[in-house]
Structure 1
Amino acid sequence: MMLANREGQAVPQVVLPTRANGQWVKLTSDELFKGKNVVVFALPGAFTPTCSSTHLPRYNELAPAFKANGIDQIICLSVNDPFVMEAWAADQKAENIMMLPDGNGDFSRGMGLLVDKSQLGFGERSWRYSMLVRDGVIEKMFIEPEVEGDPFEVSDADTMLDYINPQAEKPKRVTLIGKPGCSHCTRAKAALNANGIRFEEISIGSHGVSLATLSAVSGRTTTPQIFIEGEHIGGADELEAWLKARG
């Protein structure tokens, strides 16, 4: 298998059936790319482990940084049907990403990156890669190495953003662990929102997260507990102090 690098070439001219506002629509390559700066990341399948845990979430997280550096649209492409892609976007809360179903594999085939994954029962799927497209012409591609399995080494969001601007400011990773009905949690979330800081919210009692879990990771059993870039900040009072010191 020789995976194609199409840097300097135009994207394939295809028509992709998809869904918008509950209706079928057909998107052409020109509608997707003409006159725009677009980042595309392609992956083997919706709801698959690496795609759901890392690939899609980080692009969604870094979308504001991409926009600040001249990117008009971020597209997630997979050889799945529109209904699956729509359900995956909702599950992932991927509001910053355009989910593009390449249901027949036409775009991936035109890219030379449609591969046979029949051994997994997947049929033909896209190889994992990312690319920067300016006005329909591919400027840069990051194609995962041709090795067994599903490598994920170079098509990540950070690698692409670093290519576009090595000095790009990236949003901090913020996690708030709270519980329903917690007034201090509401205050902390309001403070984060007022400062334009996106955050992941984990609620005690959901997805196996318990007070014991909270105590294990923070040393406390009160809520909220806030972590910024992996550093434990503390509760709402400590967060407000951190935000004040940040200026």
Structure 2
Amino acid sequence: MALENREGQRVPNVVLRVRKGNEWVNVSTDDLFKGKTVVAFALPGAFTPTCSSSHLPRYNELAPVFKQHGVDDILCISVNDTFVMNAWAEDQEAENITMVPDGNGEFTDGMGMLVDKSDLGFGMRSWRYSMLVKDGVIEKMFIEPDLPGDPFEVSDADTMLDYIAPGAERPKAATLFTKPGCPFCAKAKQMLEAAGIAYEEIEVSKKGVSSRALRAATGRDTVPQVFIEGAHIGGSDDLEKWLHTHK
């Protein structure tokens, strides 16, 4: 399988059919790339494991950092129809990513990245790659190696960010265990927001995580319990002290 690096060339000129609201819209590659600095990453399929667990979420997470360093838009390209791509974006809460449904594979074929994944029941799909495109011209490509399966080594968001802005600081991420109506939980969320730290909230309740699970995960029964980058910080007072020492 020949996977051609197309640095220095223009992106393919195609028109894609996109569903926005209740209407069909034609979106051209000029609409997506002309006059802009764009990071695009392509993957084999929406809702597939690596794409959902790593590829898309990390680009979504790092989008503010990319934009601080001159990137106007981040595109996710897949040989899927627009309904699937829209549903995936909603499921992943990928509000920072523009989904590009290459349902007929025309863009992917024009990039020389259309591959046969019939062994998986997928038919023709995109090889995994990423690229930096300036005003429609490809400046840099990171193409996954031609190996069996679905390699994911170089098209990730961190590799692209290192190319665009070496040494750029990554945003910290937090996980927050809370209970409804807890004033200390509200305080912890306010502190995280003020510090610019994105957080995932996990509710301890009959509908959410149990108190037993909270105790197993943290060794404590009280909320909030805050983790930052996987490290257990503690409650709201502990978080306040941590933020003070990490200014």
Q: Which residue of 2 aligns with 1:72?
A: 72
Q: Which residue of 1 aligns with 2:221?
A: 221
Deviates more, 1:200-209 or 1:220-229: 200-209
The TM-score normalised by the length of structure 2 is 0.95
Q: Which residue of 2 aligns with 1:114?
A: 114
Q: Which residue of 1 aligns with 2:11?
A: 11
Q: Which residue of 1 aligns with 2:143?
A: 143
**C-alpha separation in 2, matches of 1:145 and 1:178:** 43
Q: How does 1:232-247 map to 2 (within 5 A)?
A: 232-247=232-247
**C-alpha separation in 2, matches of 1:117 and 1:32:** 27
SS at match of 1:187: helix
Q: Which residue of 1 aligns with 2:54?
A: 54
Q: How does 1:1-247 map to 2 (within 5 A)?
A: 1-205=1-205, 209-247=209-247
Question: RMSD of the TM alignment (CA)?
Answer: 1.6
Distance apart, 1:207 and its partner CA: 9.1
**C-alpha separation in 1, matches of 2:142 and 2:206:** 37
Deviates more, 1:191-200 or 1:160-169: 191-200
1:53-97 deviations in Å (ceiling 9; x for gaps): 111111000001000010000001111111111111111111100
**C-alpha separation in 2, matches of 1:206 and 1:12:** 52
Gap regions ≥5 residues in structure 1: none
Aligned length: 247
Gap regions ≥5 residues in structure 2: none
Contact 2:173 2:197 in 1 (8 A): no
SS at match of 1:76: strand
Deviates more, 1:128-137 or 1:222-231: 222-231
1:184-240 deviations in Å (ceiling 9; x for gaps): 222211221222221122223589743333223322122111111121111111112
The TM-score normalised by the length of structure 1 is 0.95
